């Protein structure tokens, strides 16, 4: 197998034609392959070694083309698991929204693409259910849970307080997302503040009339102090 050296992170550049969960996965397959500096043939060979069934390069190309052409390609759980092993990333990597898509909606649900972050990280209200499910591992077989946790944390022994470790990780990820989106939110806050100030100063009608003329022109029918309101219709 011939590979190039892992490349520096690059911007894949081509955003999905149709933004849904499957094209997000497709985008991220291309992103991690290029980040690793691998060819599609190399990925096919690695998957073949893992499964014992050789895949053609065209199969990897088809996975990635769905992002560019919009041709529907549905990924199943087994494929995502295999891809996570081959690329050495968690399955959640493949569901990370592409850059610059924060204001778009998912075609398959009509929900904002940012909902993917909620699905990946979870809300505070969802953590209790996760704690309960993870707790079953330790409750049923403590020795087995130690091996699982050692694998997750890449240590020689189990991690005792793994629930707090997950919550700490989640808190850091939320901080990272907030830092990335903070400047955009500040811009929105400034715009809303300016909008509210102008609206309060001139009223809804005055504000809309001021926005309906070209720069430098005098706004027509701008209400003046002392003017009475003109009815929409009057009898002659």
Q: What is the pLDDT along the chain (236 residues), one digit of tens a residue?
A: 545 444 444 445 566 667 888 889 999 999 999 999 999 999 999 999 999 998 999 999 999 987 777 677 899 999 999 999 999 999 999 999 888 887 788 888 888 888 888 888 888 888 888 778 777 766 555 556 566 666 665 555 445 555 566 677 677 777 777 776 666 556 656 666 676 777 677 777 766 666 665 555 555 554 444 544 444 444 44
Residue 25: inside a domain: yes
Residue 147: inside a domain: no
Residue 43: inside a domain: yes
Res 188: pLDDT? 59
The number of domains in the chain is: 1
Residue 231: inside a domain: no
What's the start-to-end Cα distance of the chain, in Å? 90
Residue 16: inside a domain: yes
> How many angstroms separate the Cα of 227 from the Cα of each of 36, 52, 194, 213, 223?
70, 84, 26, 21, 6
Dihedral-angle region of residue 221 (phi above 0 means left; psi in -120 to 50 means alpha; beta otherwise)? left
Its pTM stands at 0.60
Res 77: pLDDT? 95
Domain range enclosing 72: 1-121
The CATH number of residue 56's host domain is 1.10.260.40
Which long-range contacts (C-beta less than 8 Å, at least 24 apart) are formed by 32-38?
Answer: 32/87, 32/89, 32/93, 33/60, 33/64, 33/87, 34/7, 34/10, 35/6, 35/7, 35/9, 35/10, 36/3, 36/6, 36/7, 36/87, 37/3, 37/4, 37/5, 37/6, 37/7, 38/3, 38/4
**The tokens 């050495």 sit on which residue?**
88
Residue 197: inside a domain: no
The C-alpha atoms of residue 42 and residue 39 are separated, in whole angstroms, by: 5
Selection from 7, 198, 214, 184 nearest residue 99 by Cα: 184
Res 183: pLDDT? 61
Residue 128: inside a domain: no
Residue 54: inside a domain: yes
């Amino acid at each position: 197998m011939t590979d190039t050296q892992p490349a520096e992170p690059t911007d894949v550049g081509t955003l999905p034609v149709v933004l849904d969960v499957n094209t997000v996965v497709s985008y991220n397959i291309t992103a991690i392959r290029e980040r690793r500096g691998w060819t599609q043939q190399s990925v096919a060979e690695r998957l073949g070694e893992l499964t014992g069934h050789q895949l053609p390069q065209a199969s990897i190309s088809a996975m990635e083309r769905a992002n560019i052409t919009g041709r529907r390609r549905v990924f199943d759980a087994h494929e995502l698991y295999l891809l996570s092993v081959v690329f050495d990333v968690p399955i959640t990597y493949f569901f990370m929204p592409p850059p610059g898509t924060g204001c778009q909606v998912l075609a398959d649900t009509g929900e904002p693409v940012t909902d993917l972050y909620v699905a990946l990280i979870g809300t505070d209200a969802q953590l209790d259910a996760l704690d309960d499910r993870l707790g079953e591992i330790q409750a049923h077989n403590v020795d087995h849970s130690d091996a699982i946790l050692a694998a997750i944390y890449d240590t020689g022994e189990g991690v005792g307080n793994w629930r707090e470790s997950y919550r700490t990780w989640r808190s850091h990820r939320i901080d990272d997302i907030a830092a990335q989106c903070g400047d955009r939110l500040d811009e929105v806050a400034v715009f809303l503040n300016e909008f509210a100030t102008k609206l309060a100063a001139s009223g809804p009608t005055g504000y809309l009339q001021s926005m309906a003329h070209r720069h430098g022109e005098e706004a027509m029918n701008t209400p003046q102090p002392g003017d009475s309101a003109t009815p929409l219709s009057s009898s002659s």
